Structure 1
Amino acid sequence: MPSLRNPVGPLPASIYWRRRLVVLAALAGAVVLVSVLAFGGGGGGKQASAGSVSTPVGSITPGPTSTGHGSNDGTAGGTNPSAPAGASSTPTPSPSGPPVVTLPGGDGSTGGSSSGSTSGGTGSTGSGGSGQAAPNLPGTMSLAVCNAADLDLSLNSNEQTYAASQLPLFRLDIANTAQSPCRIDLGQKSAVLTITADTGAQVWSSGDCPKDTSSQWYAVPAAADGPLQAAFGWGRTTSKPGCTPGTGGAAVPAGTYVVHIGINGVATQPWHSFKLAQFGS
């Protein structure tokens, strides 16, 4: 077609060629623009769609410590009391069982290595280090019964205020001011833990319904060797004397309470006050 190669008109051919180039450039630009609008925005749409779907982050909610079930005895384990500097932490008492007792040194029988334990104990410890003591060991039974005048008792708790999910745990330190070791009975019939309200009314007592009335003799080291430590738990419930079915075991409300401990033959009865917080506080 001659008219395409050789433009016909009153103007020079170069002007017609420039007009054709401008038209072609405009057409090419339009094609590019349409392509960008049609296909260029697709990736952004997918990205926005993907970004709109969020994956929830799993959260770890710490569970409460064991609250146990209400029972007439009300004893239960909990976290260990904070031990003073240089002393070992006390293992958790088993529910309704005798106290867990630790010695600052030795093997629980004032000499030699222990090879076993009687009912109620949880094992012996190696000589030369602190650890859990077993009751009624032969070495312990060979000692004289402690003179009450030589004993210095102190009572404390592992927390001053307990949240609704926490169980109180109490530690009794028994210091012997004499130069020779002696033995003391910490069985449930001899060592009685009592909880009272701040009004003085009794709330719970380990003596109301003891599970085991046998003697649990432990060696109290001489003055230079540090105190004997015993841990007692409470399940935050009431109790009634005589183990009568259907009595006791009710949960106690928040408030201020006082723990007392009495040991047969020992006039001193240490006490310690603590608080139970409201639920959710």
Structure 2
Amino acid sequence: MLHPVGPLPAAVYWRRRLVVLVVLAAVVGGLTWGAVALVGSRGAGGESTGTATPTELPALERVVPSVAALRTPEAPAAPPPPPSEEPPPAAASAPAPGGPCADDMVALEVRTPGQVAPGSKPTFELVLTNTSPVPCVRALDKELQELVLIDASGARVWGSNDCFPENSDEPRELAPGETVVVPLLWGGLTSEPTCTAPRVPPAPGSYVVRGRLDTKASGDAPLVIG
């Protein structure tokens, strides 16, 4: 090996061997450098992974917030439905036993003979009834009682308190359903509240008699004169 044999001079063979050695040295050196560089880049990559800095947000997300950051407003609670049925009205308190007879606790009516002769002196009746379920007290004072006679046109013809008013103090306790009858005599003549106009017998015809006991009024009772 050290003494080349061939037709060419020995220097030629030595130069060829030198070139081959240089090429082999370059190849080995290149492979060694590549291996070292590969190992170094892997180590640097691992370190950078451990201390990586956060990446910058895209330009769109810097302007528009993410969907996760938005809160949808809650809808207001719906009002409760109205009750299907109204509660029953509270029962009215019952009247106290032995108290005053209010107007809605009594009934008042007038009774007449129905027909009388001109100039006669009939007796009318004022009838009071306790219609409540408890006993109560009602004043039957004379000044609180009144009867009036009204003709077919609605004109007032006579009043029981016009010319001969009376006064009395007559409280009366009425049991439930009890009726009190108060008679009132008519003299058969016309009258007016001042009792200054001439008093004459009413003309024959159809009339009505209306009664009152303080603030309680009765219906009309018919009366025919003739």
- What is the SS of the residue equivalent to 2:166? coil
Q: 1:172 to 1:241 in 2, by over 3 A?
A: closer
Matches within 5 A, 1:246-265: 247-265=197-215
Instruction: Please identify which structure carries the higher helix content.
Output: 2
What is the aligned-residue RMSD (CA, Å)? 2.1
Q: What's the offset of the Cα at 1:222? A: 1.8
Give secondary structure in 2 for the equivalent of 1:242. Answer: coil
Give the C-alpha shift of residue 248 in structure 1. 4.0
- Tell me if structure 2 keeps the 8 A contact 1:183–1:218: yes
Any runs of at least 4 consecutive aligned residues in structure 1 with deviations exceeding 4 A, and if so which?
Answer: none
Report deviation, 1:239.
1.0
Describe how 1:129-144 pairs up with structure 2 within 5 A. 143-144=98-99
Given that residues 208 and 239 in structure 1 are in contact (C-alpha distance below 8 angstroms), is that contact kept between their aligned partners in structure 2?
A: yes
- 1:17 paired residue number: none
Q: 5+ residue gaps in structure 2? A: 1-97
The separation in 2 between residues aligned to 1:261 and 1:168, in whole angstroms, is: 15
Post-superposition Cα deviations, 1:221-260, rounded to whole Å, max 9, x if no partner, equal 322xx3111112211111122344xx34222221111100
Closer/same/farther in 2, CA of residues 161 and 243 from structure 1, 3 Å limit = closer
Number of residue pairs matched by the alignment: 129
Does residue 272 of the first structure (1) align with residue 221 of the second (2)?
yes
Deviation by residue 1:190-223 (Cα, 9 ceiling, x = unmatched): 1111111111100011232343233333332322
Whether contact under 8 Å (1:188, 1:207) holds in the other structure is no
Equivalent residue runs for 1:1-281 within 5 Å: 143-157=98-112, 159-164=113-118, 166-223=120-177, 226-244=178-196, 247-266=197-216, 268-277=217-226
Unaligned runs of 5+ in 1: 1-142
Which whole-Å CA distance do the structure 2 matches of 1:198 and 1:215 have between them?
A: 35
Tell me the distance in 1 between the aligned counterparts of 2:159 and 2:106.
23
Structure with bigger strand share is 2
Secondary structure of the residue aligned to 1:149 is helix
Letter aligned with residue 212 of structure 1:
E
